Amino acid sequence: MFSIGDFAKHGRVSVRMLRHYDGIGLLRPAHVDPFSGYRSYAGEQLARLNRVIALKDLGFTLTQVQEILDAEIGVDELRGMLRLRRAELEAAIAADETRLKAVEARLLSIESEGRMPSEDVVVKSLPAVRVAELTGTASGYVNEEIGPVVQRLYEELFPALGGITPSGPLIAYYEDEPDGERVLIHAAVPITAETNGTEGFSTVSLAEVPAAATILHRGSMKTVLSSYQALAKWVDAHGYRASGPAREYYVDCPADEDKWATELQQPITKA
């Protein structure tokens, strides 16, 4: 038998916590001295303590922990529950990180208000290009809605290419669907090889663009908002208007997304 202090030490918890667990009936001492009130714990109670702490740290309430443990579930079932809960927490963390990236992008746009990046914008023509592409839809232009669709499309497009070698960097572009409710996403790669329409992708010829305002965005596409807004402000301030879908020309895409280089290309005409 262990004193409450020794049991707390072996279980890596506080004495106060053990007293609380005793008070709510979650982990009773093996013995309580009727005269002194001292609590004593048995070594085998460490197993229940380990389960309590693991479940609590994974986000279960103490009431839920007690219900789980009182059901006397087996180790395999408990491990399955822990894995499921871990997956849920990992998904929540990923969602929070995405939201933080979106806030960071919005803050960058706020910080750049009042500054015109005239030295960063280049007007140039875009040559005609023949591409293999797949299309999908998103409910809006929010990055966390578009990003996963673009990624999925490219994951499907590259296997469909088979032995066809891309002839240039990837190109993505977006269009409003006729009803205006959704966004049509094009994930494309330039090709020169002949196709017969049975390859599992569409072959499209993108027309030459006589004039496009372009700006180079460096970093993850999760932070592209400030670059897009800087380009839009430049177009408006210099008496132009958009004359077609903007393109994203992925100049360099290493494994570290924060080191990406993407040219944003907005076809323009004089307003």
Q: How far apart are CA 42 and CA 136, in angstroms?
A: 61
**What pairing do the DSSP bridges indicate for beta strands 183-190 and 129-138?**
antiparallel
| pLDDT, averaged across the chain | 87
Q: What number is the average pLDDT over the span 10-27?
A: 91
Q: How far apart are CA 95 and CA 99, in angstroms?
A: 6
**Residue 230's pLDDT band (cuts 50, 70, 90):** confident
Q: What number is the average pLDDT over the span 144-158?
A: 91
> What amino acid is encoded at 167 in this protein?
S
**Residue 255's pLDDT band (cuts 50, 70, 90):** very high
pLDDT digits (tens, 9 = 90+) for 94-133: 888 877 877 776 676 666 665 545 558 999 999 999 999 9
Position with higher pLDDT, 229 vs 264: 264
Contact 112, 227 (CB under 8 A): no
Q: How far apart are CA 168 and CA 3, in angstroms?
A: 71
Q: What are phi and psi of 228, to 5 degrees?
A: -60, -45
- Of all residues in the chain, the percent with pLDDT exceeding 90 is 44
Contact 131, 171 (CB under 8 A): yes
Q: What number is the average pLDDT over the span 33-58?
A: 87
Q: How far apart are CA 254 and CA 191, in angstroms?
A: 21
**Residue 33's pLDDT band (cuts 50, 70, 90):** confident
- Statement: residue 198 has pLDDT above 80: yes
Q: What number is the average pLDDT over the span 202-206?
A: 95
What is this structure's pTM? 0.62
> What amino acid is encoded at 150 in this protein?
V
